[in-house]
Amino acid sequence: MKTSKVLGMILASVVVATTAMAPSAAAEAGHKTAAAKTSVSQLKVVNQSVVIDGAQVSLKTVSVNRVVLYSLRDLARGLGASIKQSGAELTVTDSQGMHAVTLKAGSKGYQVDGVNAQFTVAPQSVQGSLYVEPTAVIDALGGEVLPGTSELRSTGRLSGQFSSPWFNAAGNVIVSQDDAETAQLFKLGSNGQSELFSDNGNLIGATLSPDLSTAAFTDENGALFLINTGNGIVKKLGSDTTVKTDLTWSADGKKIYFIQGDKQEKIAYISLDTAQVTEVLADKVENKAEVQVSPDEKKLVYFVNVTGKAETDKEGTEESLTIDYSKAGTQVYSLELGKKDAKPVQLTKELDNKLYLSLLSDGSAAYISADPDGATDGSVLKLISADGTKISNLVADVDVVSSRAVNGKLVILAEDANGSHLFEVAPTGAKTEMYSTKASVSEWALAKNGTIVLIEDGKVILVQSGKSTELTK
């Protein structure tokens, strides 16, 4: 719990919000200190502007041997902590009652939750107030000084590896912690404050409703569930337990479409008001995936993953078994809804790997094409015209990692020699950069107000009005 002089000097130039309880002047008075190399009478009290939890406040400081100490009373008020006195000792407790720091004037030794620690500079009593090393106290109370900044937080950020970010209707970020012993999803605020949202591992990869108020997911038995993204309340939808994958909501939020069956051979939807499952397509073609539905629900597009064809002799011996991969690959199909006897139409023929299918508002469909043989560098964003007669390269000058239609926009994550980029892509292929970083971005989500959340090297990054904030560490 030692505080470096450098951090102490950084804190002298910062910005803090005030809340909570603080001791009376008498609670800090009466402590005489022998300040090393500096007479207490020579210490000058200076008001500093500090930021805590995004709010600004002025608090008193003194400098001892170039280490800046903060008024414990002011610091506790800003952190929402309380202070109690017992003889010569003061005990500072965080607002949640989880951590306690016991210290006294003139003594470098202090305790954090009963464990001994040492200040670099002993707390100083000046003009009836006690002054302490801020970083040591903040860390001890479960808070944090953001590295490279002058911002303080009363609650430290979560630490670990995170994935699967999404926004709820209130604008909070929901993420999964990958390195936890058990599945855990956390709700993060814009300042990095966090709370456990759910420990249900089936929620990872849940599909959000258009208004972001509800997420749909299935359990290991195929049952479908809905969770309120605000309060975390879960309810079961219907009693059907057939295998359901690739859930996608209708634009009006009244239906959830999905791939159905043990071999992903069907397409169906469930109505939220009746919980009735309705079959849309059952052509016995297996390995369907990524079903997408148009806003007017007149058209579906989906992938079919074609696998190798096994061949053997009449006896079916193992030695004669061969697998023909000449036609293996992923193909895009479309289906007109509401048209009697409509048949699926194959829109592609190339044997490239195809990922991230999106059905756009004009009826065209976009997907990422990756060369299975590595003959070309990177992946290309391709566009299938609305009538299905033309396929063209929409973005080919960067390596396209993922793509998604969000809020009526086609957005891609791409990489080049300069790092990772998030672009909005126009129907002409023109790109508008939304975010750029030299770090490696693996996942992202976009809120309706334009706020972005990304996973950079396992950390959760929030981007608002061009400013990025690390929500985790």
Q: Is the pLDDT of residue 374 over 80?
A: no
Q: What pTM, to 2 d.p., does this model score?
A: 0.79
Angle at 407 between CA 401 and CA 184, to 5 degrees: 65
Task: Give the pLDDT band (50/70/90) at residue 375.
Answer: low
- Helix H, strand E, coil C: the string for 118-185 is ECCCCCEEECCEEEECHHHHHHHCCCEECCCCCEEECCCCECCCEEEEEECCCCCEEEEECCCCCCEE
Q: 415 or 16, which is more confident?
A: 415
Kindly list the domain boundaries of the chain, sorted by start residue: 5-153, 162-470
- Which CATH architecture group holds 5-153? 2-Layer Sandwich (3.30)
Give the rounded percent of residues in the chain with a pLDDT score beyond 90: 72
Query: Residue 27: its pLDDT value, please?
Result: 41
| CA distance linking residue 324 with residue 394, whole number of Å | 32
pLDDT in tens, 96-155: 899 999 999 999 999 999 999 999 999 999 998 999 999 999 999 999 988 777 789 888
Query: Residue 181: its pLDDT value, please?
Result: 87
Per the CB < 8 A criterion, the answer to whether 172 and 228 are in contact is: no
**Concatenated DSSP letters of 181-213:** SS-EEEEE-TTS-EEEEE--GGGTTPEEPTTSS
CATH code of the domain occupying 162-470: 2.140.10.30
- Choice among 24-38, 354-368, 405-419 with the minimum mean pLDDT: 24-38
- Helix H, strand E, coil C: the string for 254-323 is CEEEEEECCCCCEEEEEECCCCCEEEEECCCCCCEEEEEECCCCCEEEEEEEECCEEECCCCCCHHHCEE
pLDDT in tens, 13-72: 333 333 333 334 334 433 434 334 445 557 899 999 888 988 888 999 999 989 999 999
Query: Residue 30: its pLDDT value, please?
Result: 39
Query: Residue 41: its pLDDT value, please?
Result: 53
pLDDT in tens, 76-89: 999 999 999 999 99
